[in-house]
Structure 1
Amino acid sequence: MSRLRVHNFAISLDGFGTGEGQAPGRPFGHAGERLHEWMFATHYWYAMGGGEGGGTGADDAFATMHGQGIGAEIMGAGKFGPPGWQDDPGYRGAWGPNPPFHSPVFVLTHRPRPSIEMRGGTTFHFLDASPADALKQARDAAGGLDVRLGGGPTIIRDFVAEGLVDHMHVVQVPILLGRGVRLWDGLESLEEAYDIEAVSTPSGVTHLTFTAKGR
């Protein structure tokens, strides 16, 4: 069976995966881009934009795993767009006409709408479903490849709490946000279900990998 994976999900030292005050043009609220500066310096990020350059060290090696062997993605309504996007019937996501997913994407929302087919192979499907039901649909669409769980923090927390996540890569960034949405709330004793490894890099971040025990 294909695995459910999380990659490149950045949190602050105090555990916030996004800041407070999300709005159009501010997808991470008051956090701005500070959670992702480590990734912007990698060759992976430069190549995603069609350019050359960027570092090729450990940060790049972790970042590159984001797209390997992925056949579908699940994301929450907050990743698809800022608060209120459900009120705009013409809203098509935050990534322009050619989103970077190039696969089926399942958006979890309490207000579903018809699917949207985009350029480059991305089709957004909107589901009001439980984590287990959403994962089943994503796996069916992934064609035997793995499914990526894209976030935000609430969605990841819900899937982890139900024991559905097989592999998780979390990047702890050395900043304090103080407010926003935390990743770890309610996940006490997570270490009992996962083998955990930590790798710190010269950029100052720590890459935490969680691999479900017995899988």
Structure 2
Amino acid sequence: MKLEGERWRTLVSTVRLGRDEYRVVRPARPLAHAPLYLSGHGAQMIVDKASARELAMAWAFAIRSARTLVYLPLRHTQYACCGYGDGTEALQDLVLMHDTLAFPASRWKDVRARLGQGRPHTVDILGLPEVECAEYEAEALRHHGAADTVFISGSRKALALEGNALRTLVEECPRHMHENPGTHCCAEISAGEVGDWLHVIYCAEHRVHV
């Protein structure tokens, strides 16, 4: 399934804290199967086909949205499937953003509490661009955490480069899994100095249908 041309249904909120104003975009419906947690192997996210698609659309939108916090509320996902770890790790939300936004993570708890219902908005997805590693070799994403949330930030180039793995996950892996039952399919996203810090894994039990 190609992402380009897909339509992502979202909710848009504008939150003011003091003199600062923040625009937050999140999916119109919570992702049903996308538990995200931290382990000794970095961050692990276990997805089914629908949640992988939502994540990829959010990432594609984040690449082109330098002034927006892209928020995926994942702490209350319906499934607690686990990859690495012992299954007791606390679930996390996910925020994607450009580093130029310079958003202080310490403010996130207050921003999240003020989101309200949000305004419905449909985004036409342009897809995840294919880029060569050599072209953006100096670019790197960063990660940090606050208020039970994983923040991933970087330049447009860095987000585009790491989006390659998500494009493959969504556009190629479902067919590969259908033709090769039992195959491990994942996206490994680098952040900081860790080559596969965020590991997005298709759930072995709920890969396609939930």
Please confirm whether the aligned pair reaches a TM-score higher than 0.5, indicating the same fold: no
> Which structure features the higher share of strand residues?
2
Q: What's the TM-score once normalised by structure 2's chain length? A: 0.28
Q: What's the TM-score once normalised by structure 1's chain length? A: 0.27
